[in-house]
Structures are given as C-alpha cells and as structure tokens.
Structure 1
C-alpha cells in the first residue's frame, strides 16, 4: 500500500505541475490581452428577489439561484453583458414597462399581461396553491373563495386567476414573508402563493404547521418577457437560450433543486502535497495577476453598484412622478432652494419665473397666516423635537387664487459642527381634498335647503352660548318654532312646494332677528333661534313679529299659501341650566302652544311641566309592551340599483298599544333609550331578524342579510347571555354575514373601548356594520379607516332634495366616490321617486331603500314579496 501511495503521489505531483505551468502561461497570455470593449452590447434583466430556488438573496445579501446561474451561462454563450437586478415583483414589472430594464424573468402569462409584454416559450411549470390558516377548513376548490379576502403579492399573476374564480377582495403585500406574517397575525386567513417559495419561507419562518396548503389553484408556467413589440431583444434572448444545451440546464437546475454534490476522498498525504503546490503556484501567479485582477474586480463592483444606484434613483423618481409631487431641497446655511418643474407647475409658474430660488421667494408665495406656523414646525424639526416636518399651507397661484399644499420634509445632513445643512421635502396639491372636506363639513353643519345651521351645529352653538352666558353672568333665550299644518302643504302641493316654503320661512326668520343671534333649522318644519341677553329685550314682541311675518301669504307654484307658526321659549338660567334642558323646555312650551290652537307663543312654566306626566305614562306602558307581546317587527326592502331586485332588508320596530293603537317609533324609541328599555327591545328585534334571515335565505341567495339598528345605549351596556348578539347567532346556528348592524356616526367619534371591543367581535363573527344617516354628523371621517365599516347609508334628507346638478347631487356623488375608494357600499335612504332612483344610478349608488319600492311591512307581507320575486326570477330563467 505504501509503494502504491508513493507512486500515486509522484504521478499526481507531475500532473499538478503541468497544470500550474499551463495556468501560468494562460495567465500571462490573458494579462497581455486588451480589456473588453466597454461599449459592447449589454442588457438589463429584472425579476423578483423573493422566489427560491429560482432567484433569492442568500445570507450575505447576494442574488443567487437557478436564474442567476442561467444568465451567467447565457452571458458566456453570447458575449453580451447581463446586469441582473432583483427587486420586489411589482417594481420589477414597472421597471420593465418604464424602459429601465430589457427583460423580465419568471413571469406567468395571462390575458392581461399579453397586452403589455411579448413572451418567450415556457421553460418551467410551477404549481400555484391556495394556503389557509389552520383555523380555516373546508377549502377544496376555487369556487369557495368568492366571499373571502385573499392575500397576494403585489403584481402576482394569481390575482388574474382569482378574479376569474370570483374573488373581489384582495390584500396586497410586498413579498411572501409579509404574506406569511400577515396570516400568522390574523390580518388575512387565505393567501395565494407559488409552491416553491411558499415551502421555503414557511419552513424558514417555522409556520408550516400553522399555514396549510388547501388545493392547487392552477399550474403556472415561467416565461421570460420583453416589452410589447421589442422583437430585437426577444430574438437576442431566444438565440442565447438556444445556445445552452439541455444537459447544461439539467446540471444547473440540479445544483439548486437538491442534487447531491460528489466529493472525492483524498489521503492526507495527497492533500498536503496539493496544498504545498498550490501555495508555490499562487506565489508565482501573484506578481502577474494581483494588480490586474484587483483593478478589474473593483471596476466591476463600482459598475454594479452604480447600476444598482441608478436603478434605485430611477425607481424613486418614477414613484415621485407618479404622485405628481413637487420636490424641494433647502440649503439651510445659505437659504437657497432647488425645486423640480412640478413644484413650480403646481403654482402655475415655470422655474425661470420664480428666480431667485430662495427662502424669500417661498415666503412671498405662502399665505401670511400659514408662514409662521410652518416656520415654527421647521424650527422644531431642526432642533430634533419632531422627527418629520409636515404642515398644510396655502400658497398663491399665479392666477391669484390660493391653493392648499401639504408640505413635508426632513433634515438629511448636518455640517461638521453639527448645524443643520440640507433639508429635502415634497409639495402635494390637496386643494380638491380641502374643498371636499369643506363641502362635507358644510353639509354636516348646514341645512342644504335653507342654508341655515342644522341640528348638529345648533347643538354645538347652544352649548357654547350657555357657557358664555354663565361666564358673563347673563341670560340666554331659546325660541323653538314649528310650522302649523305644514304637512298639509306637502300633501296637497308636493314636497317641492314644501321645500320652497321652508326656504322662504328661513329667510323671513333671519330678517326678523339681529346678529349675533343664531337661526337654525332643526329638521322638517322646525326652526330654532338662540338670542343672547340684550339683543332682543322684548321676547314677546320678537315672537309676535315672527308670527306676523311667517303668517303672510306665500306664492308657491302660482298659488297663494298660508301657514302659521307655534313658538316655545325657554330661558337660561331661570328655566334651565344645561343645553339639553333648555331645549327640552322650549320644546314643551312649543307643543303647549300647538295644543292651545296653534299660531301662538308660550313661555315655559311649571304648568307646562305637568305635561311631562304624559311622557311618564308612555314610559310606564312601554316597559310592559315587550312582556305583553305588543311589539311588532316590520321589514323594509333594500333594493339593488343594478338590477332592481330586493337583496337585503331593514328590520324596524313598531308598538301596537292596546289603547292608543300603532305608535310611531319616533315617539317611543327616545323614551326607551332614556329608560333603558331599548336594550331588551333591541335584543328582541335582533332575534326576530336573525330568525327571518335564516328562514328567507333560501329564497334570496347567499348575499341576503337583514339590517338591525343598535342604539348607543346598547353598546355600552354590560353584556349578558341574552344581549350578546355574537353568542346568540352561534346558538341559533345563523351565519354572521346574515346580519348588518346599523350604528350612528356619533358612536364612533369618541368611541368607548367597549364599543371598539364590540365592533371587533362583530368583525370576527362576520357581522357587517353600516353607518346610518351618514352625513348628518361631522367628524374627520377617520373612523372609516379605523373601523371595519361595510356600508354607508346616505341620510334621506340628502335624497329628498336630490336633483340633477344641485348641491345634494354633488354631495351624494362625493360620498359615493369616497365610499367606493375605501371599499364600502352605499345605501340611499328615503327614495320616493323614479327621478331620485335614476339620479342615484347615474352616480353609481349601490342600493336604495324607500317608499318608492315599499314602506316597512309585517314579516308575512315581506315574505310574500320575496316569494313573488323568486317566482318571477324562475320564470325569467
């Protein structure tokens, strides 16, 4: 054995020396060759950096995989330099389409992409799977996905396949790691991922036991693609691919898909001999190659980094251009600015017209009221008190008007002494947004018909007026006015003439009252006047003047119409100390005036207080109504404006009093909320609605749901088994999606933690949430993004005044556009005419509800409507 080893070693030594000589000769020959022409043809290939084993980042941040090795081999075969860029998939597609790359790798082919790309033949087939959280079961085919929100990677080809399967709701993520993390945190239950990278990241993130594969959505095929019509690059691409043999491709793929690497076993003696020879050889070659190799390597690194930085710069430029943002760079030390063209364009200028580009120019263009605020925030940012600078400012357009700008920026460098050096930021025109907010605010606070403050704004003003009167130790008077027999005008002449009458009444009231008194329309034919002390000393005289002016004739549609008014007056602090109390007492005095024959004025008194006993009696009877079986559940259809079919319903409560007959909810619901009886009554109507939702679902299909109003009182009440709607649905075996809970905007403006908890429980159960009477209250609307809201119900006051091109039309359209942008559906209440229906269809409203279709009807009558619709649908088929 020793003799054999010695012979083997000598033989091996001779072969190695021969090899080293050849290497040395080749190296010297290579060193004498000129460097490759830098102007040779080159292409940029871009793809997803999130797709092992085809292309991904290794532990050192290097781009590796089958695709990386393929392009190295392709480059050798063709002599064409290849720059391989790996980035997020959505950005990869954008870079190709914008011309910053020539070829995109690993792309699936579908009908939508056919319009933008030209594809090579498929070179790999990959299964695309539907994965689900372990808590979700029963997923076996694409048909079951239509009602779910599916998580996908931005720009992924499976979005097209999911849309074909009926999926309409998606949540988009930058990469598979984000998708898996979102599934683990409960943001999404179902996701679509290609199997190869899915298995890799599930194993790496230790999530393969929590996120399970449900079924194969489709078999995707990898292609390479170029921009549509780029035939030259396509031919070059295919010519290089054809030069790579099948054996070379098989070897390349085996390297990354698990083929075992064979390793020879050498004796210790051979290894030591080889090591010695290599040291000698490397020493000989070092003098020849060291400098040239180092220079080439550094040059390649610099070139690669430069290309990556250029692509990143182009990507950021494209993003900024897409936002239509102006950009600025401020040298804090010199006060000079650099602006892009868009910055000047927003203001109607060219850059040349704004020379010099310094702080004084920016100050000259900025509204004086906003400049100081802006500079204060900038100073706080430069001092490190706030991380970013951001401020909404007004700037003057070249045409003379003011536009709103959101100005954002950040300090990016300091001087060696630590002083602020350079600050960069953006300008974005938000004038349309500000105008829309102003329009919504005005609609929320002013009556669209009379242009007077509405009920919401009135309540705000009365509280402020009482607080000011208390501070100054002054009196305050409140007058409530209600037109007599106004309903008769509406019934005889129509709502249009009634609206004309209300507008004229509002004008006459304003003419009688001096500023700073507040005149408001509270709704319907009810008006209010807040009178500070000293403005109208003779309240009786003011009341008489109002009755006299209002009772004068009105010309409506060529007819003379007469109405009178009943007025109630309450005063602070004699009659009341709080806003609610003074309103209540004025209201009681006004109704006392009506009971005395109308067209009269009454001051609140103790005698009027006796009338409260009637309310007490109503509350007493109401407490027994549920136990005595006097409550009735009625249902009003909600119709799809797309096809005119009933698709949902709203459950409404009625009280069949044994003596007083059918009592309007407008009378007993406020009393029930005050007494707390609304909780038991609300639970009763909920159970009735849930039972009927389950009963009628076979007639209506899977999307059928019944809306149930939930009072704020019910939200903050301590839950028990009877009042826990989520528990009740589970016990009844009713799916959560069969119920829509209707709440008011006010409940979400300053939500109690209990309210947030209830809403989260509804979301988890699949119960949908609708905002009732949307637009009648005012807020920043931030709750629309904070909470999972499904529907907005446009208040009937908007629908009633709807006409082509008027303010109500514009505001309704704005609400619908906003809702659709947020992924919400819109239901219009109070639809009474075909014109209102047609206008709502024109502005793409989703659903309608109102007397035009049907008033609220008992359950058996509503069921007959559903049966009839079902029969008609069967006949039509």
Structure 2
C-alpha cells in the first residue's frame, strides 16, 4: 500500500484537529459563540442556546441582540482589539422571555494563518455568574444601608478583635472625638484611660472589666472623655461580645459610641431649673396640683395640703368638698369651661379648711395632653385672704364716697358708648371711625406726618357662619376684635365697620412698620379657634393705604385701602397688599387685557403651539404636547403666564381650552394625511373644566380619533377634586378613547393607591425632579423609583425638562419611556412641525447624549466611591 503524500497527511491532521475542537466546543460546560466581522452569530454551542432560551442561533441576528439594553453601550469597547483579549467583562444577557442574567464574557480573536479559510472574527465564551453577582450586589446594598444608618444616627463603631490583635474605629467614632482619619489612636488601655475624666475612670475601668471577663455579654455605660479641642464630651458606649475563645472568654467585642453631650447638658439645665422652681414655690407659698381627667386621680404637693388644712391624702372629690358652698357653682363652672374649651383659666373662691377656717384662694390652671395622650389639668393655688380683706375695706370706703357721681357718669358713658361702639365686639363702629379718621387726617396735614389705613377682611368667615351657625360667627368676630386690640399700639385706632370687616388706623406717632403690622395681623388670624369642640380656622386679607402731609385725604385713604384689599384677595387671600402710585395704572392695564382676551376669543386668536415628545429608546417622535398661545394683534405671540390669571377671573379658560383643542385636532388630522408619523397629541385640562357638567357633551361633538388624544391632569386635581362630576367626565373621556395623563407628577401628594384607582395612561415627571439627575445620585435614585412605580403599574413615564444631552442619556438609562424638553425640541407652531420632522435634527443631539453615557457612569462611580 502506498504511503500518503505529505499534503494529504496535513489535511487529515487538520480535519482531526478541527473535529477535536468542534467536540470540545460542543461538550464544554461554558457557552461559546462564533461571530463574524459584523458581530453576527455564525455558530453557537448548546450551552449558550440553553442559557438564552432559544433552540437555534439563527433566532439571533447579532450577539448584541442577546445583550441587555442596559449593557449594549459597552459592547463596542469590549469587542474592540486589544481590549477584547484582556480581562473578561461582566455583562447582562437577555433571554427570549426578556429575563436578564449576569455572565462573565470573554472575547477571543482567533489567529489568521495564510492560505487558510478565514476563521470567525471573534469567539465569545460566557460563564453564568448570575447568582454570585446578585448576591454580591445584595450584600453591598445591605452593607451600604447599615453604614448609612449608623452614620445618620451619629454613632461611631468600634471593634476589638483580641484574637487577631486588630482594633477598628470608624470615621464617625473619630469625628465624635475631633480626630482626623489619619490621627493615631492609642490602643493601650492604660494610656487611653488618661483621656477619660478623672471622676469617671474607676467606673469606666469596672465596666470594661465586666465586659472583657464575660460577666456582661452586653453592656451600656456613660462617661466623659476629652475632645481633641480640650473640652469634655459625654460618651454613651454600647458593647457586645460577638466571639469567644476556646476557654469561653470573650475574644472579640464590638459596639458603638454616641456623643450625648447635649443630652447631658440639657438634663443638668432641667435639674437646675427644677431646683430653682422648687425654691421659688417654697418662698411664694404657692401650691401645685395635677389631675388625671380620665381617671380622676389627683396629686397635691405639700404646700397645697397645708393650705387646705388636710390631714389625709386628697382624692378626686377633696377640692369640691373644700370649696365654700357660696362659691362652688361659679368655681366649678370655670373649671368645666376651661377644660371644655381646652384653654387656661383663672379662678377665685373661698375654701373651708379642715380646721373650719375660711380662706380666700386664687388659682390658675391649664388642661393639656401628656405624652401618652392622657388629658390632664395642672394648676397652682395661693392664699390671698389678707389681700382680699384689705381690698374689700378700701372698696367699701370708696363706694360710699363716690356712689352718686359714679351712677351719673356710668349712665352718660353707657349712652355715649352705645352710640359709638359695636355691640358685639365692643370696638368703635363706623360712626366713631368717620370722626376719628377725620381728626387724624387734620392732625397729619398740620404736622406733615403720615396717616395709614389698614382695611381688614376675614377670609372663610362665611363658611364658618354657614356651617356652624351665627353663634360661631359671632365668636370668631369677637376673637378677631381681641387680636386687633392686642396688636393696637399708642396712636392706633381699631374699628369694626360691618360684617367681617375691620379698619386699623395707624398714625406716625405710633412709629409702626406697616408691612410688619399687616403680617402680624394675618399671622394671628390664621391661628385656630375652638368653638363648642370644633376647630375653626379662618384668615385675614389686608389692604394698606397711606398718605402724608398736605396730601392726606381721609375718604380717599379708605377708598385706596379698599382697592388694595381687593387686590390682596385676588392674589390668594391671607396676605397684605399696599396701594401704590402705579396701582391705578395696573387696574387700567388689567382691564385692557381683559377686553383684549374677550376680543381674542371672539376672533379665535388663541391657537396651539406644540412641543414634540420622543421615545427614550429609539428617539422616534411619539407625539406632541399642545400648549396654548395668544396671537395678540399688537404684542405678538403670548404665553399663558401673561393672560391665564385674568382669563380665570373672566371665567373664560374653558372657552380658550376648547378653541385650542379644536385647532389642535384639525392640525393632527392634517399631519396624519401628510404621514408625519405623529401618534398622538396631549392637552392640559383645568380643574374647573373637569368640574363642568357640559364637558362630556362638548367632547362628544368633536371628531376625536380613538387613542389620538390625551388629557393632562395636574396631580393635585386627581387627588383632591374627584367628586361625582369629575369621575363621570373621566369615565366619558375613557369611553371616547381619550387617554389620561398625570402632569407634574412628584410635586403634589400622590399615593400609590390613588394611581391604582385612577389608572392613568402616563405619568409626567415634573421638570424640577428631572433637572438635577445629571449631577445628583440621590435625585437619579428618586426619579428611578418613580419610573419603577410606573412600570410596575403598567403606566408609561414621560420626563419633562430634558434640557441637556446628559439628561437624555440618564433618563434613557433609568428606563424612562418618553422624553420632552429643549434638548430635543422647543415649542413651535403647527406650520413649523412638518419641516422639523423632515430634518430630524434632534437625533444629532441624541448622538452627543450617547457619547456622554460612559462619562455619566464614571461620574456616578466616582461619587459612590467618595461617598464611602
């Protein structure tokens, strides 16, 4: 038999070699894939196919398709020589069902031999590390939370491992003592004890000995230690034995130190205050008592017991039995009234002591709730018998001498008072005010000084009057009068001029700062008032006008203050406004603007502008948001901030919304015929329009293609205003195929339950939350949480305020669905939109965003490392 030629022998060996590596490739426990120069999979073994959950590699066009979208950006770098043959890469692959898992991927470029068929461009080997990776991430997260918890609690951690001779002290442990991270720490007990306060050393050594001997597996003690700056600080040390040696002795003790200096100083101040109070009570002979209003249990101090002449401990009936029968009804009524209205009160009564002596007592008491929610009454009594007897003698003598004159003067005063004062509040009335302001104006003109008028109107007074009755309203007016009386100074004058209106005159002689005075009135009126167990809340709006010198005109001052009050109420109430020199001009401008708005509605000069929205993943345009604009005949295109408030006052916002919506639907129909690919339009809907019973009927009259229109609701609307009309309108919107979106999400007070009930199609993250995401890891985490909430509820998430390329990259990485902002497109008229879509300019901006992606990740990593 002839021997095979040399070339035939080489071919045989090569075939055997190839067969060997093919068997090795197929039987390996690792996943393998061969890629061509374009990254397409030309071969793969069964391990890889099983890992990806597919039957054949033909189900994948490229290896990139098997990689999670979160890691695709790093593939070009991982697969590029010479990086490909360096350390393996940790990446996430995606199975056919969308599940992701971690692998260790190695990219190998096979050698090319001259004269042979070209081998695959790359060989990819994967090792499944999913469980290990996820355990590592979970462990890191737990450790991070633990560290943050200790740091935020201000606790320093220490760990003494005697078996290894290792002593550990955390950064916070050093910070408590004023030490820098690199400052040496004396690990020897004999040396360290010198830093402990001399009075505490024996105690500290004893506690340490108990712990190191195993007598106290867990120990807590406090002591003073010298701070680096020389002062003494209080430390609370908590330690526990965590390991024992073979002899059962502690071999490792760990714990925390907490700076409790402020607490100790507060305790000392409290002790000193208590000692001073006790001394003061002893000197003044004032007795203190406390009553548990739930159980009737009483506690009297020794001075109270002595004052009442008791020989046994008091109980819940002792006080009433001691009160003189002639005073019992009045005294007990005051106590009940004070407890009922939850306010402090004073009381005067006589008691019959245990020895039968009658004494005059004066007291003050206040109800309160203790820390456990138990209602209590605390108060003080003191004996004023000598003072009462002396006053009675003086009073009797005076009454005999002046009885006749007093009667005449009282009658005259009553007549005059009734004519010039309000019968309910006791304040001067409008007649008295007219005379007072006329006199004050004449005085100001003579002296050249200033005279100011504050016109005050109570906010929400009518609601209280209507719901709780006129008695409640009267009580509020009396309270308001009392507040103004307390704020009145020398030279000031306060009057009630009718209803819930008051006037406060302030002359130059009082030297009052009018803004401070007005704010004090507003603030005092905000405080709640209790009436028959109801908490009543109201406020006050204040209009201020002032003149000085010869220009002072009493009547004009009242008119100007009334105009300023009207302005304060229109700007939100519970505030103050000044009448200024340009006030009249502003009123004229506002009236002109109002007339122009009405003309603009008649001439249909309100029109929509559009801001495009884009898919975060593909950057394809998904739709546009409709924004109202006013094509003013002389001022040009105006945004809502120039006309919306006045339009609300005119009650014509709904008409403007309808005009803009009709125009936008017509524009949308034209874009559809042009094939621009704009999938939907969205428009804002106001709270007032949602409450309009005619909204559903007006929408039915419009030609709205299903799923082409979304209505954006402010977060506060859908949480607070969901009455029956709103719910019916929302249901009709859904029936007509109109989607619901939540606008400015994150700025209100949304809850997951509210979202689940409303089931909106989309959430729009407010621009205030999006703006800091490029530089703040905490803000990225917050926004990421909102996105996860939306994904878990099957709600699309739209990011507003995407103003930079970095915003595009970060929001895409966080999994946001839709992007909207100046980085991609600004608002534009309908006529500009087709050309904008044709030019596709926004994709250039997105390209720079992809370039920034790695830089953003590196910044995140640096911040995370520096945070540790």
Structure with larger Rg: 2
TM over 0.5: no
TM-score, normalised to structure 1's length? 0.32
Q: Which has the higher contact order (CA 8 A, sep 6+)?
A: 1
